[in-house]
Protein backbone atom coordinates (compact mmCIF):
# COMPACT_ATOMS: atom_id res chain seq x y z
CA UNK A 1 0.00 0.00 0.00
CA UNK A 2 2.83 2.39 0.90
CA UNK A 3 4.56 1.61 -2.40
CA UNK A 4 1.38 2.38 -4.39
CA UNK A 5 0.96 5.63 -2.50
CA UNK A 6 4.56 6.58 -3.22
CA UNK A 7 4.12 5.83 -6.93
CA UNK A 8 0.96 7.93 -7.15
CA UNK A 9 2.70 10.79 -5.34
CA UNK A 10 5.61 10.66 -7.78
CA UNK A 11 3.16 10.59 -10.70
CA UNK A 12 1.34 13.66 -9.38
CA UNK A 13 4.61 15.52 -8.96
CA UNK A 14 5.66 14.50 -12.47
CA UNK A 15 2.48 15.87 -14.06
CA UNK A 16 2.49 19.06 -11.98
CA UNK A 17 6.16 19.72 -12.75
CA UNK A 18 5.65 19.37 -16.48
CA UNK A 19 2.59 21.63 -16.44
CA UNK A 20 4.36 24.29 -14.43
CA UNK A 21 7.28 24.51 -16.86
CA UNK A 22 6.66 26.45 -20.09
CA UNK A 23 7.20 24.87 -23.49
CA UNK A 24 7.93 27.50 -26.12
CA UNK A 25 5.90 25.69 -28.80
CA UNK A 26 2.63 26.29 -26.97
CA UNK A 27 0.87 29.41 -25.76
CA UNK A 28 -2.04 28.27 -23.63
CA UNK A 29 -3.74 30.65 -21.24
CA UNK A 30 -3.36 30.40 -17.48
CA UNK A 31 -6.94 29.14 -17.30
CA UNK A 32 -6.17 26.28 -19.70
CA UNK A 33 -3.05 25.33 -17.79
CA UNK A 34 -4.93 25.34 -14.49
CA UNK A 35 -7.76 23.23 -15.92
CA UNK A 36 -5.28 20.79 -17.46
CA UNK A 37 -3.50 20.46 -14.12
CA UNK A 38 -6.75 19.64 -12.33
CA UNK A 39 -7.73 17.11 -14.99
CA UNK A 40 -4.31 15.47 -14.83
CA UNK A 41 -4.47 15.27 -11.03
CA UNK A 42 -7.91 13.64 -11.29
CA UNK A 43 -6.51 11.27 -13.90
CA UNK A 44 -3.69 10.18 -11.60
CA UNK A 45 -6.17 9.53 -8.78
CA UNK A 46 -8.44 7.51 -11.08
CA UNK A 47 -5.48 5.52 -12.40
CA UNK A 48 -4.22 4.52 -8.96
CA UNK A 49 -7.79 3.47 -8.03
CA UNK A 50 -7.97 1.20 -11.07
CA UNK A 51 -10.51 3.36 -12.91
CA UNK A 52 -8.58 3.26 -16.16
CA UNK A 53 -11.33 4.43 -18.50
CA UNK A 54 -11.94 7.45 -16.27
CA UNK A 55 -8.22 8.12 -16.10
CA UNK A 56 -7.97 7.87 -19.88
CA UNK A 57 -10.80 10.38 -20.32
CA UNK A 58 -9.21 12.84 -17.87
CA UNK A 59 -5.77 12.68 -19.47
CA UNK A 60 -7.18 12.99 -23.00
CA UNK A 61 -9.01 16.15 -21.95
CA UNK A 62 -5.92 17.49 -20.19
CA UNK A 63 -3.80 16.87 -23.29
CA UNK A 64 -6.36 18.69 -25.46
CA UNK A 65 -5.88 21.77 -23.27
CA UNK A 66 -2.13 21.60 -22.69
CA UNK A 67 0.44 19.35 -24.34
CA UNK A 68 2.62 17.55 -21.82
CA UNK A 69 4.47 14.25 -22.22
CA UNK A 70 3.26 12.91 -18.82
CA UNK A 71 -0.30 13.15 -20.23
CA UNK A 72 0.64 10.92 -23.16
CA UNK A 73 2.56 8.59 -20.84
CA UNK A 74 -0.50 8.01 -18.65
CA UNK A 75 -2.71 7.70 -21.74
CA UNK A 76 -0.43 4.88 -22.91
CA UNK A 77 -0.50 3.25 -19.48
CA UNK A 78 -4.30 3.44 -19.29
CA UNK A 79 -4.67 1.86 -22.75
CA UNK A 80 -2.30 -0.91 -21.68
CA UNK A 81 -4.32 -1.59 -18.51
CA UNK A 82 -7.48 -1.83 -20.65
CA UNK A 83 -5.84 -4.33 -22.98
CA UNK A 84 -5.71 -1.81 -25.84
CA UNK A 85 -2.11 -2.52 -26.67
CA UNK A 86 -2.11 -1.09 -30.20
CA UNK A 87 -3.23 2.32 -28.94
CA UNK A 88 -0.88 2.05 -25.96
CA UNK A 89 2.11 1.46 -28.23
CA UNK A 90 1.21 4.44 -30.43
CA UNK A 91 0.93 6.71 -27.38
CA UNK A 92 4.27 5.46 -26.06
CA UNK A 93 5.90 6.10 -29.44
CA UNK A 94 4.60 9.67 -29.49
CA UNK A 95 6.35 10.26 -26.17
CA UNK A 96 9.57 8.61 -27.34
CA UNK A 97 9.76 10.35 -30.73
CA UNK A 98 9.03 13.88 -29.56
CA UNK A 99 12.08 16.11 -29.93
CA UNK A 100 12.51 18.05 -26.71
CA UNK A 101 13.96 21.58 -26.67
CA UNK A 102 17.08 22.31 -24.67
CA UNK A 103 15.01 23.94 -21.92
CA UNK A 104 12.51 21.07 -21.63
CA UNK A 105 11.48 20.31 -18.04
CA UNK A 106 12.98 17.29 -16.32
CA UNK A 107 9.46 15.83 -16.02
CA UNK A 108 9.26 15.58 -19.82
CA UNK A 109 12.67 13.87 -19.98
CA UNK A 110 11.61 11.43 -17.25
CA UNK A 111 8.42 10.67 -19.20
CA UNK A 112 10.48 9.80 -22.30
CA UNK A 113 12.74 7.55 -20.27
CA UNK A 114 9.76 5.73 -18.73
CA UNK A 115 8.07 5.31 -22.12
CA UNK A 116 11.23 3.84 -23.64
CA UNK A 117 11.40 1.18 -20.93
CA UNK A 118 7.67 0.42 -20.77
CA UNK A 119 6.97 0.09 -24.51
CA UNK A 120 9.09 -3.07 -24.65
CA UNK A 121 6.48 -4.79 -22.49
CA UNK A 122 3.68 -3.87 -24.92
CA UNK A 123 4.99 -5.11 -28.25
CA UNK A 124 4.92 -8.87 -27.38
CA UNK A 125 1.23 -8.61 -26.43
CA UNK A 126 0.04 -7.24 -29.77
CA UNK A 127 -1.50 -9.82 -32.11
CA UNK A 128 -1.49 -9.86 -35.92
CA UNK A 129 -4.20 -10.93 -38.37
CA UNK A 130 -3.78 -11.33 -42.11
CA UNK A 131 -7.14 -11.13 -43.85
CA UNK A 132 -7.41 -12.65 -47.32
CA UNK A 133 -10.52 -12.59 -49.50
CA UNK A 134 -10.95 -15.98 -51.17
CA UNK A 135 -12.88 -14.83 -54.22
CA UNK A 136 -11.56 -11.29 -54.39
CA UNK A 137 -11.40 -11.35 -58.19
CA UNK A 138 -15.21 -11.43 -58.24
CA UNK A 139 -15.49 -8.43 -55.93
CA UNK A 140 -13.54 -5.46 -57.24
CA UNK A 141 -15.29 -3.09 -54.80
CA UNK A 142 -14.94 -5.23 -51.67
CA UNK A 143 -14.59 -3.37 -48.36
CA UNK A 144 -13.14 -5.27 -45.40
CA UNK A 145 -13.82 -4.13 -41.83
CA UNK A 146 -12.64 -5.27 -38.40
CA UNK A 147 -15.13 -4.68 -35.59
CA UNK A 148 -17.02 -2.26 -37.83
CA UNK A 149 -13.98 -0.16 -38.72
CA UNK A 150 -13.09 -0.21 -42.42
CA UNK A 151 -9.66 -1.58 -43.24
CA UNK A 152 -7.55 0.26 -45.80
CA UNK A 153 -7.43 -1.65 -49.06
CA UNK A 154 -3.62 -1.87 -48.93
CA UNK A 155 -3.85 -3.74 -45.62
CA UNK A 156 -5.87 -6.61 -47.07
CA UNK A 157 -3.49 -9.55 -47.36
CA UNK A 158 -0.82 -8.17 -45.00
CA UNK A 159 -0.41 -8.58 -41.20
CA UNK A 160 -2.43 -6.02 -39.28
CA UNK A 161 -1.74 -5.23 -35.59
CA UNK A 162 -4.72 -6.10 -33.39
CA UNK A 163 -5.50 -6.27 -29.68
CA UNK A 164 -6.06 -9.66 -28.04
CA UNK A 165 -9.69 -10.70 -27.73
CA UNK A 166 -12.73 -11.51 -29.85
CA UNK A 167 -13.12 -9.74 -33.18
CA UNK A 168 -15.57 -9.75 -36.09
CA UNK A 169 -14.13 -9.45 -39.58
CA UNK A 170 -16.53 -8.71 -42.43
CA UNK A 171 -16.23 -8.17 -46.15
CA UNK A 172 -18.92 -6.55 -48.30
CA UNK A 173 -19.04 -6.10 -52.06
CA UNK A 174 -21.86 -5.48 -54.50
CA UNK A 175 -24.08 -8.56 -54.16
CA UNK A 176 -21.54 -10.37 -51.96
CA UNK A 177 -20.98 -10.60 -48.21
CA UNK A 178 -18.80 -12.60 -45.85
CA UNK A 179 -18.26 -12.58 -42.09
CA UNK A 180 -16.06 -14.48 -39.67
CA UNK A 181 -15.45 -14.24 -35.92
CA UNK A 182 -11.95 -14.83 -34.55
CA UNK A 183 -10.29 -14.87 -31.16
CA UNK A 184 -6.76 -13.53 -30.97
CA UNK A 185 -4.48 -14.35 -28.05
CA UNK A 186 -1.64 -12.14 -26.87
CA UNK A 187 1.12 -12.04 -29.45
CA UNK A 188 -0.71 -14.52 -31.71
CA UNK A 189 -0.52 -14.33 -35.49
CA UNK A 190 -3.51 -15.57 -37.48
CA UNK A 191 -4.39 -15.95 -41.13
CA UNK A 192 -8.08 -15.20 -41.60
CA UNK A 193 -9.56 -16.36 -44.93
CA UNK A 194 -12.77 -14.55 -45.79
CA UNK A 195 -15.17 -16.07 -48.30
CA UNK A 196 -17.80 -13.83 -49.90
CA UNK A 197 -21.18 -15.39 -50.60
CA UNK A 198 -24.08 -14.21 -52.72
CA UNK A 199 -26.25 -11.61 -50.99
CA UNK A 200 -28.53 -9.50 -53.15
CA UNK A 201 -28.85 -6.83 -50.45
CA UNK A 202 -25.11 -6.42 -49.95
CA UNK A 203 -23.71 -3.02 -50.88
CA UNK A 204 -20.21 -1.76 -49.93
CA UNK A 205 -20.24 1.06 -47.33
CA UNK A 206 -18.95 3.62 -49.84
CA UNK A 207 -21.83 2.79 -52.22
CA UNK A 208 -24.30 2.90 -49.34
CA UNK A 209 -23.08 6.39 -48.47
CA UNK A 210 -23.58 7.57 -52.03
CA UNK A 211 -27.03 6.03 -52.15
CA UNK A 212 -28.01 7.72 -48.91
CA UNK A 213 -26.97 11.07 -50.25
CA UNK A 214 -28.84 10.49 -53.47
CA UNK A 215 -31.99 9.65 -51.55
CA UNK A 216 -32.05 13.09 -49.96
CA UNK A 217 -34.05 15.85 -51.69
CA UNK A 218 -31.74 17.46 -54.19
CA UNK A 219 -32.02 20.89 -55.81
CA UNK A 220 -33.19 20.93 -59.39
CA UNK A 221 -30.40 19.94 -61.72
CA UNK A 222 -29.01 22.58 -64.02
CA UNK A 223 -30.19 22.18 -67.64
CA UNK A 224 -27.70 20.36 -69.84
CA UNK A 225 -25.46 22.58 -71.93
CA UNK A 226 -27.00 23.47 -75.26
CA UNK A 227 -25.44 22.06 -78.39
CA UNK A 228 -26.77 24.98 -80.43
CA UNK A 229 -24.33 27.76 -81.39
CA UNK A 230 -24.38 30.87 -79.28
CA UNK A 231 -26.66 33.60 -80.72
CA UNK A 232 -24.81 36.46 -82.36
CA UNK A 233 -25.77 39.95 -81.22
CA UNK A 234 -27.26 42.23 -83.91
CA UNK A 235 -24.84 44.82 -85.32
CA UNK A 236 -26.54 47.70 -83.55
CA UNK A 237 -26.24 46.06 -80.11
CA UNK A 238 -23.02 45.70 -78.11
CA UNK A 239 -21.70 42.18 -77.75
CA UNK A 240 -20.47 40.85 -74.45
CA UNK A 241 -16.82 41.80 -74.13
CA UNK A 242 -14.63 40.33 -71.40
CA UNK A 243 -12.65 43.58 -71.36
CA UNK A 244 -15.70 45.60 -70.40
CA UNK A 245 -15.96 43.93 -67.01
CA UNK A 246 -12.32 44.62 -66.26
CA UNK A 247 -12.62 48.28 -67.24
CA UNK A 248 -15.79 48.64 -65.24
CA UNK A 249 -14.07 47.22 -62.18
CA UNK A 250 -11.15 49.59 -62.72
CA UNK A 251 -13.50 52.58 -62.91
CA UNK A 252 -15.27 51.46 -59.75
CA UNK A 253 -11.97 51.11 -57.88
CA UNK A 254 -10.88 54.49 -59.22
CA UNK A 255 -14.07 56.06 -57.90
CA UNK A 256 -13.37 54.71 -54.42
CA UNK A 257 -9.83 56.10 -54.52
CA UNK A 258 -11.12 59.48 -55.67
CA UNK A 259 -13.70 59.53 -52.88
CA UNK A 260 -10.91 58.82 -50.40
CA UNK A 261 -8.75 61.64 -51.76
CA UNK A 262 -11.76 63.96 -51.65
CA UNK A 263 -12.49 63.07 -48.05
CA UNK A 264 -8.88 63.74 -47.03
CA UNK A 265 -8.94 67.09 -48.86
CA UNK A 266 -12.17 68.21 -47.21
CA UNK A 267 -10.97 67.18 -43.76
CA UNK A 268 -7.63 68.99 -44.30
CA UNK A 269 -9.41 72.10 -45.59
CA UNK A 270 -11.63 72.16 -42.51
CA UNK A 271 -8.68 71.78 -40.13
CA UNK A 272 -6.62 74.53 -41.79
CA UNK A 273 -9.61 76.90 -41.92
CA UNK A 274 -10.19 76.41 -38.19
CA UNK A 275 -6.50 77.07 -37.53
CA UNK A 276 -6.65 80.27 -39.60
CA UNK A 277 -9.59 81.53 -37.57
CA UNK A 278 -7.80 80.66 -34.33
CA UNK A 279 -4.62 82.53 -35.33
CA UNK A 280 -6.65 85.58 -36.37
CA UNK A 281 -8.46 85.60 -33.03
CA UNK A 282 -5.17 85.40 -31.13
CA UNK A 283 -3.86 88.40 -33.09
CA UNK A 284 -7.05 90.37 -32.44
CA UNK A 285 -6.83 89.65 -28.72
CA UNK A 286 -3.36 91.22 -28.60
CA UNK A 287 -4.61 94.51 -30.12
CA UNK A 288 -6.29 96.07 -27.09
CA UNK A 289 -6.00 99.76 -28.02
CA UNK A 290 -9.07 101.79 -29.12
CA UNK A 291 -10.40 100.98 -32.60
CA UNK A 292 -8.47 97.69 -32.57
CA UNK A 293 -5.09 99.32 -32.84
CA UNK A 294 -2.03 97.37 -31.71
CA UNK A 295 0.71 98.46 -29.38
CA UNK A 296 4.17 98.57 -30.97
CA UNK A 297 5.45 96.13 -28.33
CA UNK A 298 3.30 93.31 -29.75
CA UNK A 299 3.51 94.28 -33.42
CA UNK A 300 5.98 91.53 -34.33
CA UNK A 301 3.89 88.84 -32.61
CA UNK A 302 0.70 90.10 -34.28
CA UNK A 303 2.39 90.12 -37.70
CA UNK A 304 3.55 86.53 -37.14
CA UNK A 305 0.04 85.39 -36.17
CA UNK A 306 -1.44 87.14 -39.20
CA UNK A 307 1.11 85.38 -41.46
CA UNK A 308 0.27 82.02 -39.93
CA UNK A 309 -3.43 82.70 -40.36
CA UNK A 310 -2.91 83.60 -44.02
CA UNK A 311 -0.90 80.43 -44.68
CA UNK A 312 -3.49 78.27 -42.94
CA UNK A 313 -6.28 79.97 -44.88
CA UNK A 314 -4.47 79.28 -48.18
CA UNK A 315 -3.95 75.62 -47.25
CA UNK A 316 -7.60 75.40 -46.28
CA UNK A 317 -8.65 76.67 -49.69
CA UNK A 318 -6.36 74.17 -51.40
CA UNK A 319 -7.74 71.38 -49.21
CA UNK A 320 -11.33 72.23 -50.09
CA UNK A 321 -10.37 72.43 -53.77
CA UNK A 322 -8.73 68.99 -53.69
CA UNK A 323 -11.70 67.64 -51.78
CA UNK A 324 -14.11 68.99 -54.34
CA UNK A 325 -12.09 67.55 -57.21
CA UNK A 326 -11.84 64.17 -55.48
CA UNK A 327 -15.53 63.95 -54.75
CA UNK A 328 -16.42 65.15 -58.24
CA UNK A 329 -14.08 62.64 -59.87
CA UNK A 330 -15.40 59.90 -57.61
CA UNK A 331 -19.00 60.61 -58.59
CA UNK A 332 -18.08 60.73 -62.28
CA UNK A 333 -16.11 57.47 -62.19
CA UNK A 334 -18.82 55.74 -60.20
CA UNK A 335 -21.45 56.69 -62.78
CA UNK A 336 -19.20 55.68 -65.66
CA UNK A 337 -18.52 52.30 -64.04
CA UNK A 338 -22.21 51.48 -64.40
CA UNK A 339 -22.25 52.11 -68.14
CA UNK A 340 -21.45 49.23 -70.52
CA UNK A 341 -21.52 50.80 -73.95
CA UNK A 342 -19.02 49.74 -76.59
CA UNK A 343 -17.51 53.18 -76.61
CA UNK A 344 -16.97 53.16 -72.88
CA UNK A 345 -15.51 49.67 -72.99
CA UNK A 346 -13.16 50.32 -75.93
CA UNK A 347 -11.86 53.80 -75.34
CA UNK A 348 -12.77 54.44 -71.72
CA UNK A 349 -13.21 57.85 -70.09
CA UNK A 350 -10.43 60.32 -69.45
CA UNK A 351 -10.66 62.44 -66.34
CA UNK A 352 -8.16 65.08 -65.22
CA UNK A 353 -8.75 67.40 -62.25
CA UNK A 354 -7.47 70.98 -62.25
CA UNK A 355 -6.85 73.22 -59.27
CA UNK A 356 -6.46 76.99 -59.24
CA UNK A 357 -6.24 79.51 -56.46
CA UNK A 358 -9.71 79.52 -54.94
CA UNK A 359 -11.17 77.37 -57.69
CA UNK A 360 -11.12 73.80 -58.97
CA UNK A 361 -12.85 71.50 -61.46
CA UNK A 362 -12.80 68.37 -63.60
CA UNK A 363 -12.23 68.15 -67.33
CA UNK A 364 -12.10 65.20 -69.68
CA UNK A 365 -14.05 63.02 -72.13
CA UNK A 366 -16.67 60.79 -70.58
CA UNK A 367 -18.61 59.33 -73.50
pLDDT per residue as tens, the chain (367 positions): 444 444 444 455 455 545 444 443 344 678 888 999 999 999 999 999 999 999 999 999 999 999 999 999 999 999 999 999 999 999 999 999 999 999 988 999 999 999 999 999 999 999 999 999 987 777 778 899 999 999 998 999 999 999 999 999 998 988 889 999 999 999 999 999 998 888 888 888 764 433 333 334 344 444 444 434 443 434 444 444 545 555 556 677 877 777 787 788 788 778 888 987 887 777 777 666 555 566 666 667 767 877 887 887 888 798 788 878 878 877 777 777 666 444 444 444 555 555 554 455 555 554 4
Partners of 180 in beta bridges: 169
DSSP 300-349: HHHHHHHHHHHHHHHHHHHHHHHHHHHHHHHHHHHHHHT---HHHHHT--
CA dihedral (84, 86, 88, 91) positive or negative? negative
Question: What are the residue boundaries of the structural domains of the chain, listed by start?
Answer: 2-123, 126-210, 242-365
- For residues 293, 296, 297, 299, the Cα torsion angle rounded to the nearest 10 degrees is 70
User: What pLDDT score was predicted for residue 367?
Assistant: 46
- Per-residue confidence (pLDDT) for residue 207, from 0 to 100: 47
pLDDT at 15 (0 to 100): 52
pLDDT of residue 351: 52
At the second CATH level, the architecture of 2-123 is Alpha Horseshoe (1.25)
pLDDT of res. 215: 36
DSSP assignment letter at 24: T
Q: Cα torsion for 252, 254, 255, 257, to the nearest 10°?
A: 130
Look at residue 220 in the predicted model and tell me its pLDDT: 41
Task: Supply the pLDDT for residue 248.
Answer: 59
Please give the Cα distance from 50 to 194 (Å, whole number): 38
DSSP 220: P
Q: Which fold has domain 126-210?
A: Immunoglobulin-like (2.60.40)
Q: Are 170 and 139 in contact (CB under 8 A)?
A: no
Amino acid sequence: MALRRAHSTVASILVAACLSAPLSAFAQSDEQRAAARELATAGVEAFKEGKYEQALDSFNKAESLFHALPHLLFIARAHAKLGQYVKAREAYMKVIKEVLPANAPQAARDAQKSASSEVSNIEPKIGRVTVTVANKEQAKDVVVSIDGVALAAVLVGVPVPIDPGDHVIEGVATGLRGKVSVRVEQGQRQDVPLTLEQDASAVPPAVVGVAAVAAQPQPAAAPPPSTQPEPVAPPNQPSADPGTSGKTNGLRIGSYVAFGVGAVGLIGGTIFTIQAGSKTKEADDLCTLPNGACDTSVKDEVDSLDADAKSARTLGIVGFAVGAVGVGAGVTLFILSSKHSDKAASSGPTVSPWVGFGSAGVRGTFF
